[in-house]
A and B are shown apart, each in its own frame.
Chain A
Amino acid sequence: MKEFSIIGKPTPNVDGPAKVTGEAQYTIDMTLPHMLYGKLLRSPYPHARILSIDTSEAEKLPGVKAVITGKDTPGGKWGLWRRFRELSDQQALATDKVRFIGDPVAAVAATTEEIAEKALDLIEVDYEPLPAVFDPIEAIKDDAPMVHEDFPSNINATRHIEWGDVDDAFAKADYIREDRFVLEAAHPCAMEVHNSLASYDKGTGRLTVWTSTGSPYFVQLNLAEALKMREGDIRVIKPHVGGHFGGKNSTMPDAVNAAILSMKTGRPVKIVFNRDEEFTTTEHRTAQHMALKLGLKKNGEIVAFEVKAMTNGGAYTGLGATTLYLTGTFITMPYKIPNYRYDGVRTYTNIVWGTSIRGFGAVPGKYCSETQLDRAAKDLGVDPLEIRRLNAVAPGYTAPGQYTFESCGIQPCIEKMVVRVKEKWPTIEKDEGIGYCGFAYMSGGIFNWIDTPYAYSSAHIKVNWDGTVDLYSQAADVGQGHNTVAAMICAEELGIGIEDIRLHMGDTAHAYTDLGAWGSRETLMNGNAIKDAASQVKQKLIDIARLKLGENIAYDLVARNKRIFLELRPERGLSYYDLVKDAIRQNDGVPLTGTGHYTPHNKGMISPAYGMGIMAIKAKVDRGTGHVTARDVLVVHDSGQIINPLGARGQVEGSIHMGLGYGLCEEMPMDQGMLLNPEFVDYKILRTRDMPEIEILEVPTYEPNGPFGAKEAAEATIAPAAPALANAVYQACGAEFFSNVLKPEKVLKAIRAREAKNNAASQAKE
């Protein structure tokens, strides 16, 4: 394997000093002179017609500078599925009717937050409540209320995927099992709530928005649609972002209404959601019903698989339509499935909408398929690890019409797991079990629902007289550590140090387009663009070095350790810093520049590359209380060439935290569309004492589509945590689960059901 100077070395976060001293500025920390505070009035009804809104009393309140309702907005609708205009269904403020509890109907700008809140109380809205629908199975019934009038049966999107001859394969299968599942919603819970600061310049007609987002470009596009402006007249800046986890892809009413209020008042306006608003009105992981049918040979080899999904989409689209598609694809990975059929339906309902939360598509689907696989293995008397090894794909595997794994380390991952599990857990205690789950996830999506005419990722670099490099891209560090990865890739390619790189990221005015942080895309896609830009500059320096050194043209020159030298004769070379000066002199005083880009071509329907692996969780069940404890986690994964081992470990650990939460305690119970736990007091995320120790082993592969052989490390390991946990409980006591949150009462019930089943079986024998 190639030797690197920087890639693969544990590298502290380039944003570290700012983040540990409090100097890092998040949108929520920002104020501007003369700034106003905006607040949104939200619907208390899940579904209602707006008959009238009276804002006159609110307008009279001293300190109130603007009150707006739907009729005062430019009226543009927006969404992430721009390619399909009918799915651009979000709006700044509801005009005709509200579709979920929390749909905004009016907005206020005032001199203080307190006055803005008081003003909301003075707005009178006359609603005519309408019948509402909260469950997808109810939503598609003929007499169900319609959430959007132009979508019959409340069907927002459907997906069909099929390859092979499924019916024939089932007919020939030795073993078939069918299971139905209900998956709960979960909230991303970013620590920084959605918030935006907008400043409109009346003189020029241009708008600047600072916002807590995963994609400044998406916000720019969506604002242009919402406000009926040109994209180029809108500048979106992403300061430090306090967490994303998939909940910050969509442009939300904070950004749009702050902009409209700023246009109205001529003053900067900031809107910050409170935590209750964050829980009740921002996007979550979609709740869904799933039905799986699995056909196997006696030895456990998969011959046919059929999946049906019905998702509780909520009031708007977000990235939910993409989640629906990915539910049907990630559920097949990383296994050879010769015959496969998927039908998914996403329904509109009168709740806040579900979208692309971390590991989207993979998380609910894998829960079902991997718990089902364990039950099938048990029925057939096959070891759970063996059934996964038997069915695991090999490099070059193609799912017809869908995806191809180029680099693919799943088999060595499983082999390593087999060995390590025996060493690590030679024996287990009573009521303990070890559960497994295989997984794979994309390294950036190929889909273009946003309908960008630009390259998926771009980066621009400028090399200055002193050798410092300014790197510009719209790519977004949202906490995952992309800034560090970006600096490492740039420095490695140029053969210089991280300290030579200056980052200018996430600003639509200063950089060419990058689609932002979703689908684990930044390392591969932005990494490729940065490497491309840097290699252009490197080539210029190499050309000059070649002239000056006057060596045999057959010799290769490399850039490393701040020098450019003959690869075979390292002593013959020149200083990077001197070469930069020569190059700028030669270039009539113009700094060296490189503009790189990346767009995947001919890489299937999903992604150019996939991270993958297998997870094992050892868990203990208390048969008396039903309490489940995740005791120990072991992951063996293939993320290609790891760029930054520190950051990669952080991503894996964080994914497991969120995945275990999905399996143990996170849920969003609703009553008639009203969320019952909209605070951290009641919505439980795992705390430090709940977290097991995690051992992470790597199986490095070289991904030909990634920069320096890299692929994703951010999301693959979230999906396996909950199913591995459920499988551990299943192995410990035979309790079966068809839903994800293993609360004690549910576990007890499952244990009782198992005992009843066992008793019935033994009685039948007698």
Chain B
Amino acid sequence: MKQQLNIVVNGEPHELFIEPKTLLVQVLREHLGLTGTHQACDSSSCAACTVVVDGMAVKSCSILALQVNGREITTVEGLAQEKSLHPIQQAFIDNWAFQCGFCTSGQIMATKALLDENPDPTREEIQAQLDGHLCRCTGYNMINEAVRDAAKRLKARKDLESQKWLQTAKSGKGAK
């Protein structure tokens, strides 16, 4: 018997009818066409399929879609702004933090969850967060550097935003 699933993915609400055994990764890839999330194993041991569910990094192959009913999900497709990449994405490019790119969306989404929670992680904290993520190409060091670089970029962006806010407040522009 199919059941109703209501989820918000990358800000868009979706209403679907699915078999209860359907995995989240299947809903994302097969029902919603979000193929940026990849699956590289059948044993919940590669973490390539990691997405962010309500702020938490989750392996989408290891959770039933119905378990996230009513939740908000962010996939790699939901990170970039209209005209610019997310600082994590840009940091991954600038640091050559991927080669084949197949596991990259999982690495990026785990990084997103980490940096939202811990904006200035140490090498050890990064390794702890990404330890389950298998990558056959990079040897990981360049990924770790990208994560540290992304943290710096996010901090710089935040500083800039707060400066802007302060300046705007000071200038007294806007409605009075």
Contact A680 B75 (CB under 8 A): no
Contact A20 B98 (CB under 8 A): yes
Q: Report the nearest A residue to B101, measured CB to CB.
A: A19
Contact B38 A191 (CB under 8 A): yes
Interface string of A365-397 (1 = CB under 8 A from B): 000000000000000000000000000000000
Instruction: Give the residues in chain B near A656, CB-CB below 8 Å.
Output: 139
Contact B138 A240 (CB under 8 A): no
- In the complex, whether A736 has a CB less than 8 A from a CB of chain B is no
Contact A191 B48 (CB under 8 A): yes
Interface positions, chain A 693-727, Cβ under 8 Å from B, are 693-694
Which one of B35, B101, B128, B141 lies within 8 Å of A691 (CB-CB)?
Answer: B141
- In the complex, whether B76 has a CB less than 8 A from a CB of chain A is yes
- In the complex, whether B104 has a CB less than 8 A from a CB of chain A is yes
- In the complex, whether B156 has a CB less than 8 A from a CB of chain A is no
Contact B75 A653 (CB under 8 A): no
Complex CA distance for A604 and B134, rounded to whole angstroms: 39
Which one of A17, A29, A649, A688 lies within 8 Å of B130 (CB-CB)?
Answer: A688
Interface size of A by Cβ–Cβ distance < 8 Å? 55
Contact B100 A478 (CB under 8 A): yes
Contact B142 A242 (CB under 8 A): no
Interface string of A652-685 (1 = CB under 8 A from B): 0111111000000000000000000001110001
B55: min CB distance to chain A, Å: 19
Contact A21 B136 (CB under 8 A): no
- In the complex, whether B15 has a CB less than 8 A from a CB of chain A is no
Instruction: Give the residues in chain A near B36, CB-CB below 8 Å.
Output: 21-24
Instruction: Give the residues in chain A near B143, CB-CB below 8 Å.
Output: 688
Contact B46 A680 (CB under 8 A): yes
- In the complex, whether B94 has a CB less than 8 A from a CB of chain A is yes
Interface string of B58-92 (1 = CB under 8 A from A): 00000000000000000111011000010001101
- In the complex, whether B116 has a CB less than 8 A from a CB of chain A is no
- In the complex, whether A15 has a CB less than 8 A from a CB of chain B is yes
- In the complex, whether A129 has a CB less than 8 A from a CB of chain B is no
Contact B104 A657 (CB under 8 A): no
Interface positions, chain B 84-129, Cβ under 8 Å from A, are 85, 89-90, 92-96, 98-105, 108, 126-128
Which one of A17, A21, A26, A274 lies within 8 Å of B77 (CB-CB)?
Answer: A21
Asked whether A191 and B34 contact (CB < 8 A) given A12-B93, A16-B93, the answer is no
- In the complex, whether B40 has a CB less than 8 A from a CB of chain A is yes
Instruction: Give the residues in chain A near B77, CB-CB below 8 Å.
Output: 21-23
Which one of B40, B95, B133, B135 lies within 8 Å of A275 (CB-CB)?
Answer: B40
A245: min CB distance to chain B, Å: 7
Contact B102 A192 (CB under 8 A): yes
Contact A19 B42 (CB under 8 A): no
- In the complex, whether B37 has a CB less than 8 A from a CB of chain A is yes
- In the complex, whether A25 has a CB less than 8 A from a CB of chain B is yes
A16: min CB distance to chain B, Å: 4
Interface positions, chain A 597-614, Cβ under 8 Å from B, are none
A715: min CB distance to chain B, Å: 13
Which one of B35, B42, B92, B126 lies within 8 Å of A274 (CB-CB)?
Answer: B42
B90: min CB distance to chain A, Å: 8
Contact B102 A242 (CB under 8 A): yes
Contact B134 A685 (CB under 8 A): yes
- In the complex, whether A583 has a CB less than 8 A from a CB of chain B is no
A480: min CB distance to chain B, Å: 6
Asked whether A191 and B142 contact (CB < 8 A) given A21-B77, A688-B127, the answer is no
Asked whether A691 and B139 contact (CB < 8 A) given A12-B94, A192-B100, A479-B101, the answer is yes
Contact A650 B85 (CB under 8 A): no
B122: min CB distance to chain A, Å: 13
Complex CA distance for A17 and B138, rounded to whole angstroms: 18
Determine which residue in B40, B41, B92, B137 has the highest number of CB atoms from chain A within 10 A of its CB, and name it. B137
Instruction: Give the residues in chain B near A455, CB-CB below 8 Å.
Output: none
Complex CA distance for A18 and B100, rounded to whole angstroms: 11
B131: min CB distance to chain A, Å: 5
Contact A191 B100 (CB under 8 A): yes
Complex CA distance for A478 and B130, rounded to whole angstroms: 23
Contact B96 A26 (CB under 8 A): no
A249: min CB distance to chain B, Å: 16
- In the complex, whether A241 has a CB less than 8 A from a CB of chain B is yes
Contact B80 A21 (CB under 8 A): yes
- In the complex, whether A13 has a CB less than 8 A from a CB of chain B is yes
Instruction: Give the residues in chain B near A679, CB-CB below 8 Å.
Output: 41-43, 45
Contact B37 A20 (CB under 8 A): no
A276: min CB distance to chain B, Å: 7
Interface positions, chain B 139-154, Cβ under 8 Å from A, are 139-144
Complex CA distance for A660 and B37, rounded to whole angstroms: 28
Asked whether A687 and B102 contact (CB < 8 A) given A646-B96, A649-B142, the answer is no
Contact B127 A689 (CB under 8 A): yes
Complex CA distance for A19 and B45, rounded to whole angstroms: 22
Complex CA distance for A658 and B99, rounded to whole angstroms: 14
- In the complex, whether B132 has a CB less than 8 A from a CB of chain A is yes
Q: Report the nearest B residue to A658, measured CB to CB.
A: B136
Q: Apart from A12-B94, A242-B38, A275-B43, list 13 A-B contacts with CB within 8 A.
A: A13-B96, A18-B101, A21-B77, A26-B102, A190-B136, A191-B46, A191-B134, A649-B142, A653-B138, A657-B139, A680-B46, A687-B134, A688-B131
A-B contact pairs, 15 of them (CB 8 A): A15-B101, A20-B76, A20-B85, A22-B105, A23-B36, A188-B136, A191-B136, A192-B40, A192-B102, A242-B38, A275-B40, A650-B99, A687-B133, A688-B144, A689-B131
CB-CB nearest 4 A-B residue pairs: A22-B36, A479-B100, A242-B102, A19-B101
Q: Which residues of A are in contact with B by a Cβ distance under 8 Å?
A: 12-13, 15-26, 28-29, 188-193, 240-245, 274-276, 478-481, 646-647, 649-650, 653-658, 679-681, 685, 687-689, 691, 693-694
